[in-house]
């Protein structure tokens, strides 16, 4: 499932062709993705101008004239693919929603598994939307810091890996970047979250910011389905220090034992037992 860097990359890729442009045609080719599409979605979007394309956690946030917001999630296999004017690209079976701008640019929401979603929300109700209202701070924003992270972790007896996957603690961090951030901070994924205070919390908050920033610069990480809006892969996987590198040498020490893998809450965690305490 795309995490924060992938969704941020998609948002940035959509901003150029969409912001300030009017949607002259919207096609909905299915009635539902993960949930039913909003009633008369195509009619309600056609003719509207896009004001801003952004992101909240793992959600796309597309603000429209008239005070409404198109909220989107890519799910397990969703893609937003950009087709420039005049380019011949046959439609695919899983192009479920297609947006066309006044300049002839197409944005195709392709979702083979249909775990993605779209909703149309009044701007005034966005913060209280059921998918957004309980989210924690944005890790790349000023509202996220070592002390804020420490406060969120205080009293939590879960492993720190599980804690930073909790979207109420910090928004948008998923399995890949949790492993990478814990490695960069030198913290064991098994460590109790409540013990990550003071300097440890500062290290971890800084590592989360750094890892996410580098991942965005690389266009995210492509595993199975994720691609950027131009169809290119994300290249951050080439910079992974530990994720999916079980048995390989640790890049930060000479422990000789290599990267280990363990399963926590049904998800793989990758780490170095010597470097991470």
Catalytic residues: 2-3, 58, 267
Please give the C-alpha separations between residue 126 and each of 30, 70, 121, 129, 190, in angstroms, as whole numbers.
25, 10, 6, 5, 36
Judge whether 236 and 215 are in contact, CB under 8 Å.
yes
Q: Mind spelling out the 3-state secondary structure of 8-66?
A: HHHHHHHHHHHCCCEEEEEEECCCECCCECCCCHHHHHCCCEEEEEEEECCEEEEEECC
Angle between the N-to-C axes of helices 198-217 and 4-18, in degrees from 0 to 180, rounded to the nearest 10: 40
**Using CA of residue 32, residue 55, residue 205, residue 219, what is the dihedral sign?**
positive
**C-beta neighbour count of 260 within 10 angstroms:** 18
Judge whether 26 and 62 are in contact, CB under 8 Å.
no
Radius of gyration from C-alpha coordinates of the chain: 20
Judge whether 132 and 115 are in contact, CB under 8 Å.
no
């Amino acid at each position: 499932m795309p995490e924060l860097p992938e969704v941020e990359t998609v948002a940035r890729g959509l901003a150029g062709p969409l912001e300030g442009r009017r949607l002259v045609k919207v096609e909905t080719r299915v009635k539902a993705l993960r949930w039913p599409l909003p009633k008369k979605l195509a009619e309600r979007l056609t003719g509207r101008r896009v004001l801003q394309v952004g992101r909240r956690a793992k959600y796309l946030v597309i603000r429209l004239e008239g005070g409404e917001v198109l909220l989107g999630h890519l799910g397990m296999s969703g893609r937003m693919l950009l087709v420039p004017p005049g380019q011949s690209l046959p439609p695919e079976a899983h192009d479920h929603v297609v947006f066309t701008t006044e300049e002839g640019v197409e944005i195709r929401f392709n979702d083979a598994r249909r775990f993605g979603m779209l909703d149309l929300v009044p701007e005034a109700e966005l913060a209280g939307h059921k998918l957004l209202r309980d989210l924690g701070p944005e890790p790349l924003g000023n509202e996220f810091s070592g002390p804020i992270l420490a406060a969120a972790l205080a009293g939590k007896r879960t492993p720190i890996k599980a804690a930073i996957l909790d979207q109420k603690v910090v928004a948008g961090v998923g399995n890949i970047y949790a492993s990478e951030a814990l490695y960069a901070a030198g913290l064991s994924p098994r460590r109790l979250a409540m013990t990550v205070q003071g300097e440890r919390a500062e290290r971890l908050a800084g590592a989360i910011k750094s890892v996410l920033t580098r991942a965005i610069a690389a266009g995210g990480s492509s595993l199975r389905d994720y691609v950027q809006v131009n169809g290119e892969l994300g290249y951050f996987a080439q910079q992974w220090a530990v994720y999916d590198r079980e048995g390989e040498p640790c890049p930060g020490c000479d422990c000789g034992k290599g990267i280990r893998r363990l399963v926590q809450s049904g998800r793989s965690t990758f780490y170095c037992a010597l470097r991470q305490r």
